[in-house]
Structure 1
Amino acid sequence: MTGADRVLVSERIGQLFLDTERGRDRLEYTEYGSGDSWVVLLPGLLMPRRMHDHLARALASNGAHVVTLDLLGHGRSDKPADPLVYSVTSFAEQVVALLDHLGAPQAVVGGTSLGANVSLEVAVIAPKRVRGLILEMPVLDTALEAAIIAFAPLLLTARFFPGALTGVRWATRAVPRGVVPWWLGIGLDTLDQRPGPVAAYVHGLFFGRAAPSLRERKAITAPALVVGHPRDPLHPVADAELLSEELPNSTFERARSIMEWRLRPERLDLAATKFVLDCWRGPQRRQRSTNA
């Protein structure tokens, strides 16, 4: 089905409550379409779930039942100021809790950047719940130094100059989202952060588990679509290529630019849609391929 043939799909906002030692955490998600071909999409670092609105609608219009989730600390979900609650493992546990909440035995789980790492972690802690993986811009060994350089200033600013983040937050809130391009609105939402939770979030991710180990990655048998971007210092294409080689049942797709899936999504939407439909057609042998 082409973009011109897509059908309208239902969209519903839901909430998931998780009981913790601190009380209750609330997570918010959006559900697209219906049926048993579940897909869960996870956002990048500090980004809202609506970054995947377009892909979710494309998949749902082709028959998938898609859920986009704001992980703890993201978007409209709760944002506690406790670094102990933020880790790739705890995020993966939230995804499993979401599947339980929805009554979904399995799902294709995917995400961008942090969302890709969390998807890998779901495949490690709950392999029977993962039908397939969509992994865009994973952050692995090659990217760790760049990530530290990029986000250490954010941690220091949130800890020692919280007024700067508060000022940015109020400035971004003053911009009506309806009058700016969609991706600029996503960026403004990402900047809408309170200092305490941001400091806790970055601290937790810096000093916690960032991704499954090499041994664990090689043991993941679920089909995987790995998407890498050229000329992206925070998400080197080498990490994506290496991950595709490590996963025994993967396909590698090279994006034409960092922004292709955001600004000209048709080609990669088609690749993701084909992958999801293949995953839900039943067990198949998939051949590794690389697209230039």
Structure 2
Amino acid sequence: MGRAALASEQVGQVFVEGRRGRDRLEYTAYGAGESWVVLVPPLLVPRGVHDRTARMLASHGLHVLVLDPLGHGRSDRPADPLSYSVTAFAEQVVALLDHVGAARAVVGGSSIGANVALEVAVRAPERVAGLLLDGPVLENALGAQLALLTPVLSTARFAPLALTALRLATRPLPRRLAPAWVGLVLDTLDARPGPVAAVVQGVLFGRFAPSSAERAEVRAPTLVLARVADPFHPVGDAATLVEEIDGAVLERAEAALEWRRRPERLDLVVTRFALECARPARRARRTRSS
């Protein structure tokens, strides 16, 4: 599969109505054209986690948007737990599509970002050309996720000075000289305790994912990436999703962190899927122009 020329990148912003008024969300757009992809990061992680994937997809002619949902990255970070939920993040994805004038897109995400993509497919199925779900977090992962996120919530809420000290200690460290994953970790740690506690509380005590019955109603083409040796994203959740969604395809990683450490094989799988989802729109454009 030949690669296109290096795609352009542009930072943008979109405003959404929230509990306290208008909230500002930031995103990066990669590439151009009318075949859209939207990627959502994991909980508390900034959108830079998807930079490499977005560039790869854009280099094949897709127009890719990577969003910082409310409370993440460079978007606004209110300290109100009621501002946050998987449902609210899904509404923000739809608002982003409205903002850029995209009728439909392949919507994807990693971890709880995959749950957000699922929620978009349930709430606005007409806007979803396909689903790219990396390590979805469903019933089998709930215990492990609670074990991971509860200490984060407790520390941010009851020992905020610890997080503040960590933030102040890591903030001066240079990002440009560090490996990409180190810079991503440092950016994740650069968050105030109040918003961190609010995001985790809002997601944990809100609607975590669509129900099994709702997932079974999804009709969009779906690719599910299953991780191995990852208790926070068990293969069982990915397999369950493939059984529930008619026609969904399961792609198992061959090693732990394969898509991060040796991405070539999964890059090919993901690119082929996204381009296949884009074909109906491209055929429609050719028909209108003929």
> Which bracket does the TM-score occupy, shorter chain normalised?
over 0.9
Aligned to 2:177: 179
For residue 72 of structure 1, give the secondary structure of its aligned residue in structure 2.
Answer: coil
The structural deviation recorded for 1:273 is 0.5
Superposition map of 1:1-292 within 5 A: 1=1, 5-282=3-280
TM-score normalized with structure 1 length: 0.94
Instruction: Report if aligned partners of 1:6, 1:58 keep a CA contact under 8 Å in 2.
Output: no
Name the aligned partner's letter for residue 150 of structure 1.
L
**Amino acid in the other structure paired with 1:24:** R
Which AA in structure 2 matches 1:190?
T
Aligned counterparts of 2:211 and 2:111: Cα–Cα separation in 1? 16
**How far apart in 2 are the matches of 1:282 and 1:198?**
40
CA drift at 1:264: 1.3
- The equivalent of 1:290 in structure 2 is none
Q: Distance in 2 between matches of 1:140 and 1:164?
A: 31
Cα distance in 1 between the residues matched to 2:188 and 2:259: 18
**Unpaired segments of 5 or more residues in structure 1?**
284-292
Show CA shifts across 1:256-290 (max 9, x none).
2332111211111111100011111129xxxxxxx
In the TM superposition, residue 170 of structure 1 has moved relative to its aligned partner by: 1.1
Indicate the residue corresponding to 2:286 in structure 1.
none
Query: 1: distance between equivalents of 2:85 and 2:249?
Result: 27
Residue-by-residue CA offset, 1:165-192 (whole Å, 9 max, x unaligned): 0011112212100111101111111111
User: How far has the Cα of 1:121 moved from its partner?
Assistant: 0.1
Structure 2: gaps spanning 5 or more residues: 282-290
How far apart in 2 are the matches of 1:104 and 1:78?
23
* More moved, 12-21 vs 63-72: 12-21
Q: Deviations over 1:64-89 (max 9, x none)?
A: 00000000011110110000011010
Residue 242 of structure 2 aligns with an amino acid whose one-letter code is S
Cα shift readout 1:20-54 (whole Å, capped 9, x = no counterpart)? 34121100000001111000000011111111111
1:205, CA displacement in angstroms? Answer: 0.8
The answer as to whether partners of 1:127 and 1:220 remain within 8 angstroms in 2 is yes
RMSD: 1.1
In 1, the alpha carbon distance for the partners of 2:30 and 2:215 equals 30
Residues matched between the structures, number: 281
Displacement of 1:210 in angstroms is 0.3
Counterpart CA distance in 1 for 2:199 and 2:249 is 32
1:83-128 Cα offsets, whole Å, 9 max, x none, are 0011010000000000000000000000000110000000000000
Query: CA separation in 2, counterparts of 1:244 and 1:191?
Result: 34
SS of the residue 1:78 aligns to: coil
Identity %, equivalent residues: 61
Q: How many angstroms apart in 1 are the aligned matches of 2:177 and 2:129?
A: 39
Displacement of 1:6 in angstroms is: 4.5
Question: Partners of 1:27 and 1:8 in 2: how far apart?
Answer: 26
* Superposed CA offset, 1:226-254 (max 9, x none): 00111101110111111111111211100
- Structure 1 window deviating more from structure 2 (201-210 vs 252-261): it is 252-261
Secondary structure of the 1:179 match is coil
